[in-house]
A and B are shown apart, each in its own frame.
Chain A
């Protein structure tokens, strides 16, 4: 079983839609959860960082962590064509080890 599972998409939505991106993981040792956005031919850039269960909001982005279900989500409100990218979830246990999802490709249609 993979340590983290992420639907690869692609996910196509109209401009203005609410987007939900998700990852499930298997190891309860993970304590820190991140979402990265990766544009084509670019490196991943940090979007959201959370610790423990709950919600964290930053502008149009909300990260949600449910440690009891081992499930993390990223919500994008009022999606824009500039949000078209691949979104990677990442988990960290506090050691050198970071585990990354394979990424969900999102396309927001104008």
Chain B
């Protein structure tokens, strides 16, 4: 049982390049999330998906797009990477956003934009 799996774990991009972070969960969870974690700022929500076929903006969506490919997979795309997007990215999932269930995280993707 892998839980939440993210790829790649490390990536270096040049400014202006694009890339997609992949995320998959095997817990049959409905809701999936993408967060970024920066020193002194905690985890900030980029986008979330309450169910297959729906996506919504979080706190810091600018510069990102997402796709909820199916119930298991939720990808995050940087169309034109900027140095300000250097961060650690975490994918997460929960069973049901209305019942107070706990949120489970992947291992993280370390992205550096130069």
Contact = CB atoms under 8 A, between A and B. Distances in A.
Interface of A: 8, 31-32, 34, 36, 41-46, 49, 51, 88, 90, 92, 94-98, 100-103
A32 B103 CA distance: 11
Identify the 4 closest CB pairs spanning chains A and B, nearest first: A43-B105, A32-B100, A102-B42, A100-B43
Contacts of B42: 88, 100-103
B86 to A, nearest CB: 16
Interface of B: 4, 31, 33, 40-43, 45, 48, 50, 56, 90, 97-100, 102-108, 110
A96 B102 contact: no
B98 to A, nearest CB: 6
Given A8-B40, A102-B42, A46 B100 contact: no
A85 to B, nearest CB: 14
A106 to B, nearest CB: 16
17 contacts: A31-B100, A41-B110, A42-B107, A44-B43, A44-B90, A46-B102, A46-B104, A49-B102, A94-B97, A96-B33, A96-B56, A98-B33, A98-B45, A98-B103, A101-B42, A102-B41, A102-B42
